[in-house]
Amino acid sequence: MPKPMEPTLDALPNPFLRYFAATRPAFLSVTFVGCLLGLATAAYSGVPIGPALATATLFFALVAHAGANVINDYYDALSGCDAANTERQFPFTGGSRFIQNGVLGLRATGIFGYALLAAVVPAGLWLTAVSGSGLILIGLAGLVVGWSYSAPPLKLQSRGVGEFAITAGWLLVVVGSDFVQRHGFAFVPVAAGIGFALLVANVLYINQFPDVKADASAGKNTMVVRLGVAPARWGYVLIATLAYGWPLLMVLLGRLPVTALIALLPALASIAAARQLWANAARPAELTPALKLTILSASVHGLLLAMVLSTPLGRLL
């Protein structure tokens, strides 16, 4: 039975809105922030920002993320883990529920997901033509990460290495957005992007706690399944520590301005989420505040860092 607020066919009679909602648009915000951060690192380096290229980059990055979301739903439905998930905390965990609640069919979902990923290819080739051949490597790597996170034969999340894939994927968002403006590679987007990408990875990591029983029953051996609920709590702390430690190191090494330290403020939200996870890791119904705080920490960190790097004060310091 669908839980309250989950999607139903009656609630989404318009086909366009149905397919749009299947992409889980609310969760595309982290890609929006990642693109802003990449544009900010280019601006920090004194690169003039081209509005048309920036808009195209943002739009197609969101399409790629949307495709990865739909593909994830498709393969989680095939494995049976979403259908078995009775402890999900919708809308954060347990998938979009479009297939399980009869809003979209399994085949239609798969076709839609792959169509979204395919739509990014011509756009990527055009952006490559106007920015530089190196973008091919970034775009290809991003598509492979988005696809292989869920899809066989790699199924990276099911092998317990999904966090590495997510970190790489959102770092590529920052680096790619910077590359389109800069027309080349630089270290600045790496300096700014790794901490942000790790915080995004922590969003996916904490989402595994409510889903752990369903994932284990379907053979989806995520990091939390492999470690066990209690020991896996340390993983959240470790990822958050690395995420905030990286920009601090970059400031100390002079790779980021001192004002970038303001982006450490969301550590307060991460600490609060870690405390709630520590107390409620085995009680999925109590984890929703921690899930929200983890999303908040990633988004605010990226936005604060982008704000600093895109202002004259950031360039002066």
Predicted pLDDT of residue 247: 98
Let me know if residue 3 belongs to a domain.
no
Let me know if residue 10 belongs to a domain.
no
Let me know if residue 1 belongs to a domain.
no
CATH number of the domain that residue 172 is part of: 1.10.600
Predicted pLDDT of residue 315: 60
Let me know if residue 8 belongs to a domain.
no
Mean pLDDT to the nearest integer, 253-271: 97
Per-residue pLDDT at 4 exceeds 70: no
Let me know if residue 56 belongs to a domain.
yes
What is the tens place of the pLDDT at every residue in 30-65?
Answer: 999 999 999 999 999 999 999 999 999 999 999 999
What is the tens place of the pLDDT at every residue in 165-217?
Answer: 999 999 999 999 999 999 999 999 999 999 999 999 999 999 999 999 999 99
Residue 268 is part of which domain span?
A: 15-316
Per-residue pLDDT at 26 exceeds 80: yes
Predicted pLDDT of residue 8: 94
Let me know if residue 136 belongs to a domain.
yes
Predicted pLDDT of residue 312: 77
Per-residue pLDDT at 317 exceeds 80: no
Number of domains in the chain: 1
Predicted pLDDT of residue 43: 96
Mean pLDDT to the nearest integer, 69-92: 95
Predicted pLDDT of residue 239: 98
Let me know if residue 5 belongs to a domain.
no
Per-residue pLDDT at 125 exceeds 70: yes
Let me know if residue 9 belongs to a domain.
no
Predicted pLDDT of residue 314: 60
Enter the pTM of the model. Answer: 0.96
**pLDDT band with cut points at 50, 70 and 90 for residue 5:** confident
Per-residue pLDDT at 1 exceeds 80: no
In the chain, the percentage of residues whose pLDDT exceeds 70 is 97
The DSSP secondary structure of the chain, one letter per residue, reads -PPTT---TTT--SHHHHHHHHT-GGGGHHHHHHHHHHHHHHHHTTPPP-HHHHHHHHHHHHHHHHHHHHHHHHHHHHHTTTTT-SS--TTTSS---TTTTTSS-HHHHHHHHHHHHHHHHHHHHHHHHHH-THHHHHHHHHHHHHHHTTSTTT-TGGGT-HHHHHHHHHHHHHHHHHHHHHSS--SHHHHHHHHHHHHHHHHHHHHTTTTHHHHHHTT---HHHHH-HHHHHHHHHHHHHHHHHHHHHHHHTTSS-GGGGGGGTTHHHHHHHHHHHHHHTT-GGG-HHHHHHHHHHHHHHHHHHHHHHTSHHHHH-
What is the tens place of the pLDDT at every residue in 273-316?
Answer: 999 999 999 999 999 999 999 999 999 999 999 999 998 766 65
